[in-house]
Amino acid sequence: MNNEVLKLMLRLFLPSEYVKSIFHISPRKLKENGIKGIITDLDNTLVEWDRPNATPQLLEWFKEVKDQGMDITIVSNNNEKRVKAFSEPLNIKFIHKARKPMGQAFLRAAKKMNLKKAEVVVIGDQLLTDVLGGNRTGFQTILVVPVASTDGFFTRINRKIERRIMESLKRKGMLQWEE
């Protein structure tokens, strides 16, 4: 495969930004950069995949988002029971069984928030679902380090593939951050 074609393909997996956690993302700075809405993954992005509720620190971050006048929608590949149980008590919109990296759920979320793509950022912990899906549909993306060191079965498979993609991005000199 031609080196330029490979670089173009790899670019789909390259997030706009990479941070340690959701708490390293400043809602104020997002707003200053024209962002009015956040599409975020749930499991291992906001909380551990097996934690049913938001932590006090996450509740504070959500408050900061709302204080900035920003909207938020959780887009998860998980089932309705899991996503609804987490989202509804917080009064946060959600889309379950999102089929990420397919783009429809991201587009639906932006439409639910009544925002344009340029006004929305996608945040998640996986290159193969969150970043690829967000990039393919034209959103800015932020990759976070997974909250938990354990994953469900399919996510463990994805992580192995992601490590290979990250190695390719490094070899091609496309990564702009430290591990």
pLDDT on residue 170: 79
CATH annotation of 13-171: 3.40.50.1000
> Residue 114 has which token pair?
């009544």
Cα pseudo-dihedral 48, 95, 84, 131, rounded to 10: 0
Using alpha carbons only, give the angle 22, 26, 31 rounded to the nearest 5 degrees: 125
Per-residue pLDDT of the chain (179 residues; tens, 9 = 90+): 677 777 777 888 899 999 999 999 999 999 999 999 999 999 999 999 889 999 999 999 999 999 999 999 999 999 999 999 999 999 999 999 999 999 999 999 999 999 999 999 999 999 999 999 999 999 999 999 988 776 666 677 777 888 888 888 878 777 765 54
In what order do the strands lie in the sheet containing 140-144?
A: 17-19, 140-144, 120-124, 37-40, 71-75, 93-95
pTM for this entry? 0.88
Residue 115, pLDDT score: 98
**β-strand pairing of 93-95 with 120-124:** unpaired
Residue 165 is predicted with a pLDDT of 83
Rg (CA), the chain: 16
Whole-number pLDDT of residue 177: 59
* Domain ranges within the chain, ordered by starting residue: 13-171
